[in-house]
């Protein structure tokens, strides 16, 4: 069997028996006091390792959450692209110009008379897709709006709400008399 460090030091002559017994007695007294008072000595190294592990775990959780968000964004974008690809209506297939606004700029697409009627009736919507515009059914536009509302550019049901005047605005104009004939 291997000798303990204390025994090795005694054998080599680097320590004497008197000091070894004194150290053993002090160690025994500390253990007895600790057991009696139930004092748990914390090891600084152990505490720092635990703190580092906790910090690393927290950092890993934050990175995992961020990666999960990015993956979810990519998944939503892929779903939107798939829905648009599967449900897009023919565009630029007619001679009727249909105008709508995109980033405060009036844009237009060429559609046939039937498609224009469906756009105005709220059965179709216009979305931005791959640096262009696509016409899709309103049900698909609703599903896309649940995932990303920013890519829906024109919906007839949303456009009408912004045009109507509120009661307060109507009351404000009630003070002004509107002439029957306008002479210029």
Which of 67-76, 79-88, 162-171 is least confident? Answer: 162-171
- Residue 12 maps to a domain: no
- Residue 156 maps to a domain: yes
**Is residue 74's pLDDT more than 50?**
yes
Q: If you compute the radius of gyration of the chain from its CA atoms, what whole number of angstroms results?
A: 39
pLDDT mean over 102-121:
86
Find the domain containing 136 and state its range.
Answer: 88-163
**H or E segment at 13?**
none
- Residue 21 maps to a domain: no
- Residue 100 maps to a domain: yes
Alpha-carbon span 157 to 75, nearest angstrom: 28
Query: Long-range CB contacts (< 8 A, 24+ apart) of 82-88?
Result: 83/136, 83/140, 83/143, 83/144, 84/127, 84/129, 84/134, 84/136, 84/140, 84/144, 87/136, 87/137, 87/140, 88/129, 88/134, 88/135, 88/136
- Residue 81 maps to a domain: no
**Is residue 160's pLDDT more than 50?**
no
Which of 37-41, 64-68, 116-120, 168-172 is least confident? Answer: 37-41
Q: What's residue 41's pLDDT?
A: 55
* Distance (Å) of CA 67 to CA 38, 48, 60: 46, 28, 10
Which of 29-33, 55-59, 64-68, 154-158 is least confident? Answer: 154-158
DSSP secondary structure string for all residues of 20-64: HHHHHHHHHHHHHHHHHHTPPPPPHHHHHHHHHHHHHHHHHHHHH
- Residue 124 maps to a domain: yes
> Across the strands, what pairs with 127?
134, 152
- Residue 107 maps to a domain: yes
Domain count, the chain: 1
């Amino acid at each position: 069997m291997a000798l303990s460090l204390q025994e090795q030091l005694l054998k080599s002559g680097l320590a004497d028996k008197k000091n070894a017994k004194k150290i053993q007695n002090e160690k025994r007294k500390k253990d007895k006091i600790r057991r009696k008072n139930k004092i748990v000595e914390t090891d600084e190294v152990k505490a720092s390792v635990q703190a580092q592990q906790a910090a690393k775990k927290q950092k890993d959780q934050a990175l995992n959450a961020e990666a999960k968000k990015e993956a979810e964004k990519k998944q939503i974008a892929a779903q939107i692209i798939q829905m648009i690809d599967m449900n897009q209506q023919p565009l630029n297939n007619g001679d009727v110009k249909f105008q709508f606004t995109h980033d405060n700029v009036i844009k237009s697409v060429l559609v046939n008379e039937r498609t224009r009627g469906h756009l105005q009736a709220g059965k179709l919507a216009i979305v931005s897709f791959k640096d262009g515009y696509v016409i899709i059914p309103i049900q698909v536009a609703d599903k896309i709006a649940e995932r990303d509302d920013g890519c829906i550019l024109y919906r007839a049901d949303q456009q009408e709400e912004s045009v109507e005047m509120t009661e307060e605005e109507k009351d404000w104009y009630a003070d002004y008399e509107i002439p029957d004939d306008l002479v210029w």
